[in-house]
Structure 1
Amino acid sequence: MMILYWLLIVLMVVGIIGALVPGIPGASLILVSIFVWGALDGFTQGVWIALGTALAVLLLSLGIDFLAAYWGGKQAGASNWGQVGAFVGLTLGFFGFLPALPVGGPLVGVLFGPLLGAIIGEFLYHRELEFEPRLKLAAKAGVGIVVGTLVGRLIQGVLAIASVVVFIFTTWPPGVA
């Protein structure tokens, strides 16, 4: 059981990395790992505490993803077009459909897709401006959305670490109730 416990902790560390890096499961991987441990070792009080914490972190992470990008975009003056463009860019980048990025896979697409999508969305929204100020405003909004997203990822990483720490403190040592 001890080997399985440590393998699940390694899987949770991958979840922490996933909370920081787009395209890798984060909080959901941690939640599943805790659930697996609970199913194998018995759902003790410590496992329920860790499971509740991981579920709360997962729900918070979903909200943080959206709100951080929205807040970053609004701070940089982005419109809803920029927000939608970032979402479309993220989706296209994740599935590798960005024509400007034929190599690098989903990770590169997930990193650059929202930026390109936000810039394109803002550029289309501000049709009344001349080319240069239009491009400058679009780039500023795109960078704001990406910065907001990065801040959100850092917050998610901290929450994921907290979730794993709660699991370790509530279930250590393994096999002892």
Structure 2
Amino acid sequence: MDLLLLTLGFMCMILGVFGSFLPVLPGPSISWIGLVLLYFTNAIAANYWILGITLLITIIISVLDYVIPAKGTKKFGGSSYGIWGTNIGLIIGILAPIPFGFIIGPFVGAFVGELIYSKNHKQAFKAATGSFLGFLASTFMKFLVCMMYLGLFLGIVWQYKLELF
């Protein structure tokens, strides 16, 4: 049973890292579930401080994930069309067979979204830049947290490696 929980936890960690880039998956939340699964194993003693602190970080990051892109768009004079365009552009950019589509897609999507809203090219470009910068900041923050959770997961497994196998 421990090996199954360890495997599921590790799969959650990897899915969480991918989820930090995809707007459909809540990356930090999935990674936190991986930590919880690790602590359900019999070989590793539960540390409620680590789980509590990482849960608090996950909640804060989840809230900021919605606030940062909106603030970036608003600061540069954008609308909700730019935010929606960023998310749609990201999905298209990931699926499209172009290099760096996951970076180009959100910017183009925000630009098109703002063009639909305002019809002003300069304003749309400025708002798309704000939306894109907010998206990048939020994604980078989620990626860092997921990588820290993965490091914590691997560190705990390494510490207790003799008891698991």
Q: Same fold (TM over 0.5)?
A: yes
1:161 pairs with 2:154: no
Decide whether the 8 Å contact of 1:50 with 1:167 is kept in 2: no
Unaligned runs of 5+ in 2: none
The 2-side partners of 1:140 and 1:118 are apart by 9
Q: Which residue of 2 aligns with 1:57?
A: 57
1:166 aligned counterpart, secondary structure: helix
1:22 aligned counterpart, secondary structure: coil
Which of 75, 84, 91 aligns to 1:88? It is 84
Task: Using the TM superposition, give the Cα deviation of residue 70 of structure 1 relative to its aligned residue in structure 2, in angstroms.
Answer: 2.8
Q: 1:28 to 1:114 in 2, by over 3 A?
A: farther
Between stretches 155-164 and 8-17, larger displacement belongs to 8-17
Q: Which residue of 2 aligns with 1:124?
A: 117
Q: Which residue of 1 aligns with 2:14?
A: 13
Unaligned runs of 5+ in 1: 128-133
Task: Report which structure shows greater RCO (CA 8 Å, sep ≥6).
Answer: 1
Residue by residue over 1:101-150, the C-alpha shift from the partner in whole angstroms, topping out at 9 and shown as x without a partner, is: 9x75xxx79x746753564346534x7xxxxxx11211221122012211
Q: What TM-score, normalized by structure 2, do the two folds share?
A: 0.68
2:147 aligned counterpart, secondary structure: helix
Task: Using the TM superposition, give the Cα deviation of residue 86 of structure 1 relative to its aligned residue in structure 2, in angstroms.
Answer: 3.1
1:163 aligned counterpart, secondary structure: helix
The 2-side partners of 1:44 and 1:68 are apart by 36
Q: Which residue of 2 aligns with 1:130?
A: none
The 2-side partners of 1:27 and 1:20 are apart by 11
Task: Using the TM superposition, give the Cα deviation of residue 154 of structure 1 relative to its aligned residue in structure 2, in angstroms.
Answer: 0.7
- Structure 1 or 2, whichever has the larger Rg, is 1
Q: Kindly report the root-mean-square deviation, in angstroms, between the aligned alpha carbons of the 2 structures.
A: 3.7
Task: Using the TM superposition, give the Cα deviation of residue 155 of structure 1 relative to its aligned residue in structure 2, in angstroms.
Answer: 1.3
Equivalent residue letter for 1:22: P
Count of residues paired in the alignment: 157
Q: What TM-score, normalized by structure 1, do the two folds share?
A: 0.64
